[in-house]
Structure 1
Amino acid sequence: MTTNQSWQQRKQQVIARGMGNLSPIYVEKAENAYVWDIEGRRYIDFASGIAVNNTGHSHPRIVNAVKAQLDRFSHTCAMVTPYPSFVELAEQLTERVPGETANKAMFVTTGAEAVENAIKVARAHTGRSGVIAFKGGFHGRTNMTMGLTGKVAPYKAGFGPFPNEIYHVPYPNAYHGISVEESLKGITDLFAADIEPTRVAAIIFEPVQGEGGFYQAPPAFAQALRQLCDQHGIVLIADEIQTGFARTGKLFASEYLGIEPDLITMAKGIAGGFPLSALVGKAEIMDAAAPGGLGGTYAGSPLACVAALEVLKIIDEEQLCDKALAIGEVMSKRLQDMQQRFADIGDIRVLGAMVAMELVVPGAGNKPNPELTKALVEAANQAGVILLSCGVRGNVIRFLPALTTDLSTINEGLDVVERCLAELVANA
């Protein structure tokens, strides 16, 4: 009999050390909110492939759509001979993004590619080169997107130098004492000391910082960014790679902010687990790149496009935005109850089914406790619940259950988390 540990040993012999894995859980099958490993153990999945499987693992409608497409063809390259699903998906997405402006779309394969192309399009449109991003932000692992990312370990350490003319300013964070005014002042200071606004092509931000710790952008901040970009002719990019496709209770988290971004990057939950990403934005801006300037061999795979079309139908017909809000309500109440019990829980942040619990050292303000965070992830995994951590300080537990998860399973998983946390605190 093969075991998780035997496969982990084999993996360590042939996979680069930098491509680590959270836990030695080797998956045999997965369905909706559950994963089974090769030893037959069942896990409640509170990670969903890092917010990819918003529609659950192996949703039968997505499986059937992809199987039907596979019977027809698997690849032609949309830049050579395109296909109807490529156009249909663009039609759907351009209609669904926030705002009334006419939009256009392009498809690539990964979230990092979507961000790279957003910067390319913004530079082509403005004729400028500078880009402003935010501390704590995460935008990918390519050279450009590492440069944009505002977190060194593990994403940037040892990989520089990065592209120039990228500038980072504080992201508003009430829990850590960074006000909207302070964040905006960071941009003003940049304009005074480092780069004039007429050389800035784009400002890129996450409506909810993902890897940075699930911190939400206040509407006043996003609206100030919109005004600033309008004033100086800067392209405003909303990175919705982790927040998109009903995760927050709306199709896109930008809808909470009362703004219309110029460009929106999408990936993760877009295609139910099939590799696909998109850049959608105002047609005038999107058309700045010359023919042949955008694309890729696997861009807009026909398998992924039909999966994404089915994802949108599932979101609508199974009311996943409402289900995300219901999951968030249950998680919020349970975590608040835990916070009353454990002084180690410093803050709880909830927007739909994008939920965070920040762990701190009791009695030490909001001093981070990354050791407890790591131990809780490991303990929960061993007890049958797949958890993820995040945060610049490594002390945030993030919950990303499939939006198709029933509430009894949510509570079952939280029972395990609470029990593991109680044991760790008692033995500390």
Structure 2
Amino acid sequence: MSPVTHDFIDREDAWGAHNYHPLDLVIAEAKGAWVTDVEGRRYLDCLSAYSAVNQGHCHPRLLRTLTEQAARVTLTSRAFRNDQLGAFCEELAQLCDMEMVLPMNTGAEAVETAIKAARRWGYRTKGIADGRAHIIAFENNFHGRTTTIVGFSSEAAYREQFGPFAPGFTLVPFGDIDAVLRAMTPDTCAVLFEPIQCEAGVLLPPDGFLRELRALCDAQQVLMLADEIQTGLGRTGTLFACDHDGVTPDLYILGKALSGGFYPVSAVVSRRDVLGVFGPGSHGSTFGGNPLGCAVAREALRVLRDEQLVERSAHEGRWLLQQLQTLRHPAIKSVRGRGLMCAIELYEAARPYCEALQQRGVLCKETHGTVIRLSPPLMVAREDLAFAVGALREVFAAGGIALRQTADGRRQEPQ
């Protein structure tokens, strides 16, 4: 590591809270599927800011829209109307085949909004007694970092010393429809789920599970809340990951790629009877629905359509998964994925492998300790994917585990 990189890292570590463990490179520029660090080295981005840059880094259409809108008006707050909000809500609702949109900024805000909507719907529509609304979620979930959300996480590190937590949530094993049924009570208003559990290691539900969940929720008058913040907008080869099972939830939670990585935009999209429970003063956000964010999000959705990024994700994702499934190494436990969201699960820590890939010009990040997640921008070229596969083959080459751990814990470079 050069003194230039060291200086950036040292400054960040000295002045910033240490709530992340990033790879030790400092990105200065990005375009398309590639990023460049402060020393001029280029890397293929196989994380896409956790699916926020599905359209690719610094997409020229999004940059132009951002610049033009910023020159006109950036923020009005919801105290006044703006000329972008209505069109954004209409276009997103129609894309989702829904009736109403409530815009927010971050994914966690959208999840909190969905929880509030489901609870109030439970009281007003289902007739649950006030203060008793109950929501079912799944073990190994990741829905955000607020105290309410981490309160129903099964990850100890997310919860430690952040309590007390809000009641009203029950966790069940992901993919176990019988456990969902057992957890349901007359006070259950919603089931909150990720169609694919991304942070947990790209865990796919059993075949048919989402269809069974849809039928059960219909029978019990319970809302299905689909957190498609990471999986939505083409990431898995369909517009939404729920589409793989032919399931339409009662409510979509969207974010990340909704603005192509240019600006924090999230949204809850649902039917009128669900989002209609909100009235003036019941929920809000100063920046939610601001004209700059709405304009960028509208263009981001047009880019997805015009450049056929959903279709590209399906086509290129099939090729990538096939290539990954040919990898052979004793450390590899399994390979899985949908579209351009793939994972290599290992029998050992994934971090050293990610560091070795970095040295070969490929950026990815470990998740859940033992999983390498690969999710490049949806516009990535086949030759770039081939470059990533080649780097993986080198890392998993016979006798050359990326970075071995010696008995005393010191790192040893590849053989």
RMSD of aligned Cα (Å): 1.7
Match of 1:375 in 2: 352
**Contact residue 335 and residue 343 of structure 2 kept, 8 A:** yes
Match of 2:409 in 1: none
Letter in 2 for 1:131: I
CA gap 1:76/1:204 in 2 versus in 1, 3 angstroms: same
- Partner of residue 269 from structure 1, selected from 257, 261, 271: 257
Instruction: Give the drift of 1:84.
Output: 2.5
Letter in 2 for 1:104: M
Structure 2 SS opposite 1:198: coil
Match of 1:389 in 2: 366
Match of 2:307 in 1: 318
1: CA distance, partners of 2:210 / 2:404: 43
**Contact residue 219 and residue 256 of structure 1 kept, 8 A:** no
CA gap 1:36/1:157 in 2 versus in 1, 3 angstroms: same
Instruction: Give the drift of 1:403.
Output: 0.6
**Contact residue 388 and residue 398 of structure 1 kept, 8 A:** yes
Match of 1:303 in 2: 292
Match of 1:177 in 2: none
Match of 2:88 in 1: 89
1: CA distance, partners of 2:257 / 2:367: 18
CA gap 1:322/1:188 in 2 versus in 1, 3 angstroms: closer
Bigger shift: residues 62-71 or 218-227: 218-227
Deviations 1:303-347 (A, max 9, x none): 221111111111111110111012212211211111xx2132221
2: CA distance, partners of 1:256 / 1:103: 22
Using structure 2 for the length normalisation, give the TM-score: 0.91
Instruction: Give the drift of 1:244.
Output: 0.8
Deviations 1:70-96 (A, max 9, x none): 11011111x112222211111111112
Match of 1:138 in 2: 142
Instruction: Give the drift of 1:217.
Output: 2.5
Structure 1 SS opposite 2:151: helix
1:406 aligns with 2:381: yes
Deviations 1:257-310 (A, max 9, x none): 222211110001110111010000111111012222222011123222111111
Instruction: Give the drift of 1:426.
Output: 9.1
2: CA distance, partners of 1:49 / 1:42: 16
Match of 1:31 in 2: 31
Instruction: Give the drift of 1:427.
Output: 5.5
Using structure 1 for the length normalisation, give the TM-score: 0.88
Identical aligned pairs, as a percentage?
Answer: 33
2: CA distance, partners of 1:225 / 1:333: 30
Letter in 2 for 1:346: K
- Which structure has more helix as a fraction of its residues? 1
2: CA distance, partners of 1:292 / 1:207: 32
Q: How does 1:205-216 map to 2 (within 5 A)?
A: 205-216=193-204
Instruction: Give the drift of 1:189.
Output: 3.1
2: CA distance, partners of 1:142 / 1:427: 37
- Partner of residue 149 from structure 1, selected from 146, 153, 162: 153
Deviations 1:335-361 (A, max 9, x none): 1111xx21322211121111111112x
**Contact residue 138 and residue 148 of structure 1 kept, 8 A:** no
**Contact residue 214 and residue 349 of structure 1 kept, 8 A:** yes
Q: How does 1:48-59 map to 2 (within 5 A)?
A: 48-59=48-59
Bigger shift: residues 226-235 or 398-407: 226-235
2: CA distance, partners of 1:427 / 1:215: 27
Instruction: Give the drift of 1:112.
Output: 0.4
Runs of at least 5 residues in structure 2 that lack an aligned partner in the other structure: 406-415
Instruction: Give the drift of 1:425.
Output: 6.2
1: CA distance, partners of 2:267 / 2:52: 14
2: CA distance, partners of 1:168 / 1:426: 37
Structure 2 SS opposite 1:56: coil
Instruction: Give the drift of 1:209.
Output: 0.7
Deviations 1:346-400 (A, max 9, x none): 211121111111112xxxxxxxx2x2x1110111123221111223xx2111111
1: CA distance, partners of 2:404 / 2:360: 17
Match of 1:63 in 2: 63
Runs of at least 5 residues in structure 1 that lack an aligned partner in the other structure: 173-182, 192-196, 361-368
